[in-house]
Chains A and B, each alone.
Chain A
Amino acid sequence: MGKLLFEKTSKDRRGVEPVAPDVPRSKASSRLKGLMREDIAGFPELGEVDVVRHYTLLSRRNFGVDSNFYPLGSCTMKHNPKINEDLCRLPGFAALHPYSPEDLSQGALELMSRLEGYLCEVTGMDAVTLQPAAGAHGEFAGMLLIKKYFEDKKEKRTKVLIPDTAHGTNPASANLAGFKVVKISSEGSPVITTESIKKAMDKETAALMLTNPNTLGLFEEHIMEIAEVVHSMGGFVYCDGANLNALMGLAKLGAMGVDLVQLNLHKTFSTPHGGGGPGSGPLAVKKKLEPYLPVPRIIETKGKYSLKFDSKKTIGRMKAFYGNFAMMVRAYSYIRRMGPEGLKRASETAILSANYIKEKLKGDFHLPFDRPCMHECVFTHKRQAEKGVVTLDVAKALIDKGIHPPTVYFPLVVDGAIMIEPTETENIETIDCFIRAMQDIAKRAETDPESLKNAPKTTGTERVDETKAAREPVLRWSKKA
């Protein structure tokens, strides 16, 4: 156990062989002699059984939502429905080439078109592109749309306002689009104040990027006034839709003055996280920005669907083809399964679960803002730090209890943040178990803090030396000389 594929290799061992040739050997091999590779040094040579065993054992060294409670704040680790895994693998979807003629792809185009409509309805926006492959990709697309819009209007707008509670992808995306990031300091306030925006907003500012609910799990209560301020100066309000799980069926971002919002299908709409993707980050916009959306657009005329590639004002393309289609099938299926009542119930229950945890744990952990939260709540390690126990220790101790840690050290505006998002798919017993685990850790931080410094001990891997990984980088396996 613990060996890499390359260390289990045995020369000439075969796995799955390709189909037998039914065409003659071509002369290509002799023609291309100088350009052909003779070998792939170090490439694995294993039997099929070896490969299956290798990956099966690897999978067991992982926590997943199916096996562990995963309260990662802002990630919405809700259950990934199995039926959706079956549906996206239907041959009519899985074997469909992106350049397949339109009349042979009506099912795919219909699904995408309807999904666009559903996402508009949930967010209260006018048009959607499904092309971005992830949230950050959608943010980048949104920033480019804004850039093109102002270029068209011949207005020189170089700045984007971003609060210090924002997810790192926000300033990174704004920067990629050529904007200068102006940081809005929260100055201890749990929500953005209208004052702080009034002070910063001017005619050189293209947009304000905010997250609602914000990364402290709180609703940005001044959003309407803030949107007023930004709009009055001709700017746009961009919303990072990562926390949409708090709002479905309860409120629409479009009605709050939001002009653009990217959605994360792998968060709110149940598509699996896959250990780091693939995701899908559709971008929804108000009518004003529709002409700038990436191509192609999906057009419906009398029940027939087609792709429209020409667009005078489009920003172009974010990637090849149409987006992560298999994720769209899953999200479409999820929305059809849940229906409007189900989506509303999901958001309501997510909010209730987070508040339940907040109330139960505020006696043991420092709660920087004691007020009703939305779908996630944020604590800090302030009390435990007095005994030398920090957020990192709390996280590692939870692993030993079979619980994946919450999001840690984010947002940066509080010291040692612990961001907990239970989602609506966890039953009360699981949540109570988590609460008891946290309370136990809090107790041990008081009575025996040293015992928390050595966690985790039960996963087969103890605390990993991340410093060594950075100081002595080894980023691939190499054969020992």
Chain B
Amino acid sequence: MASKTVTPYIPHTEGDIRRMCEAANVGSIDELVKSVLPEKLRLKSGLKLPKGLSEQELKAHVEGVSSKNKGANAIKSFLGAGAYNHYSPAAVNHILLRSEFFTSYTPYQPEASQGTLQAIFEYQTLICQLTGMDISNASLYDGASATAEAALMARRVTGRNKVVIAGSVHPEYRETTRTYLYGSDETPLEAPFDTKTGLLDIKAAEAALDDAACLIIQSPNFFGTIENVKELAELAHSKGALLVVVISEALSMAFLTPAGELGADIVVGDGQSFGNALSYGGPYLGFMGLSGKFTRQMPGRVVGETVDKTGKRSFCLTFATREQHIRREKATSNICTNQGLAALACSVYLALLGKTGLMELASLNIDKAEFLKKKLSAIKGVEIAFSSDTFNEFVIRTKKNPEVILAALKKKNIVGGLALKRFYPEMKSHILVTATEMNTAADIEEFARELKRVS
């Protein structure tokens, strides 16, 4: 008798099952399962999960779950700190949804995946152009793990163990680096920042850099301030260490001199700003640009240009001998699946905005943040915490408790920023605020008005 239950995505009819069982020399699926699973391990009752839903019910249910959130579409958000609210042109999503891109696998068979391969090659080029470095890989998980991989790589390249990381690098990036280095029984040394400027304390860093494999800095750093990359590169090199520059707001690369031109050896960061939704923290996009000297030590996949049998330009994965599937325990990293589709989103976004569009957008972000800075600093009880130049985020110091302030703002449907006490216990009065092209002048003025009311 025909079964009345429909199992989603499984097309087999009773007749199909019967035919397959016959060919497999079993009387039923049950008999087959019995032959491959030991009796005592076979489950006697069903999994304790909620009963399956029809697609219609599923949609209603999940929409209900999502409505319990209030994202940047429903409130006025001034949050940044490693995840940025930018406008993504509609074409990005439509291209991502072309199923030949998103339902395909890693391009191990180049003749069947030139689309993916060429897109990655273009992505690698874009990262090189933005960072000013020679080569780029096909992506890593996110900015935090990319920072950790850079630390491991610096150790391999220099043969030294010590890693020095600025305290002004994103706290979660530092924590991730600490966790990765724990695998090598190494603890990174933290170099403190100057409490007046918000920049790395160069004197303190100098002392720490003897025998270091690398100095890891972020610019613009977690506080939004722009570090003196050139000076820090010279310092690191004078000690025989590499300079790793971390960039969590990728858009800043369209405004500032590329770290590659200032002496960086490895540039890592997160490309989330380029076409990847906030999505409660993931998936984001780890990028890594580096000097050509380090090609063989680079973690992650990389696409190279070549030709096919007819001499036509083609692309393929290359230098695979560094990777886990060949080198196994001697691999440069364990990474296999990376962030392919996120890298595609990034490329499409960058191609749509183009050079002028991207540079204009970066300028606009700075202008928005400066406008916000002006409005907030005019409020009694609010001060700009650091004297240095910033990109699109900065830190304010408030007389009133930041938690009280943010709670009051939230009542007015404004998420005013991130109170920094949770990451820097000594920064009890500080809030990190961010402005992008998604914050209108009216929003900014309203934020200032409400902050004034509660200050």
Contact = CB atoms under 8 A, between A and B. Distances in A.
Q: Do chains A and B touch in the complex (CB under 8 A)?
A: yes
Contact of A327 (B79, B125, B283): B283
Given A62-B115, A319-B176, A348-B33, A37 B283 contact: no
A133 B341 CA distance: 13
B350 to A, nearest CB: 7
Interface string A32-65: 1011110111111110100110111011111111
Contact of A336 (B61, B71, B176): B61
Contacts of B211: none
Interface stretch (A136-144, A228-236, A282-290): A136-144
Contacts of A58: 114-115, 118-119
Interface stretch (A1-9, A192-200, A379-387, A436-444): A1-9
A260 B72 CA distance: 37
Contacts of A372: 24, 32, 35-36
Contacts of B444: 23
Contact of A24 (B24, B111, B371): B371
Nearest to A424: B10
Contacts of A434: none
B36 A275 contact: no
A97 B77 contact: yes
B280 A42 contact: no
A168 to B, nearest CB: 4
Given A169-B334, A337-B58, A470 B319 contact: yes
A340 B51 CA distance: 6
Interface stretch (B157-165, B197-205, B304-312): B304-312
A278 B101 CA distance: 12
Contact of A466 (B120, B138, B316): B316
A32 B389 contact: yes
Interface residues of A, number: 206
Contacts of A111: 65
Contact of A463 (B51, B125, B308): B308
Contacts of B62: 87, 90, 329, 332-333, 336
Q: Which of B37, B53, B331 has the most CB of A within 10 A?
A: B37
B49 to A, nearest CB: 4
B338 interface: yes
A187 interface: no
Contact of B142 (A51, A81, A133): A133
A143 B329 CA distance: 13
B291 interface: no
Given A133-B282, A168-B326, A469-B318, A54 B351 contact: yes
B418 to A, nearest CB: 5
Contact of B329 (A17, A172, A464): A172
B83 A275 contact: no
Interface string B113-131: 1111011111011101110
Contacts of B109: 63, 395-396, 399, 404-405
B47 A122 contact: yes
A349 B12 contact: yes
A17 B16 CA distance: 54
Interface stretch (B235-243, B355-363, B377-385, B446-454): B355-363
Contacts of B180: 176
Interface in A439-481: 454, 456, 459-466, 468-470, 472-477
Nearest to B24: A355
Query: Sorted from nearest, which 4 A-B pairs have the closest CB atoms?
Result: A339-B52, A321-B281, A276-B340, A92-B66
28 contacts: A4-B122, A23-B444, A55-B119, A56-B98, A59-B100, A60-B100, A62-B101, A65-B99, A83-B58, A95-B85, A133-B145, A134-B337, A137-B335, A172-B328, A251-B42, A278-B282, A278-B342, A294-B179, A317-B175, A319-B141, A320-B173, A320-B176, A341-B7, A349-B17, A399-B109, A427-B11, A461-B110, A475-B124
Given A177-B183, A274-B101, A342-B8, 4 more contacts: A21-B367, A45-B354, A104-B410, A140-B183
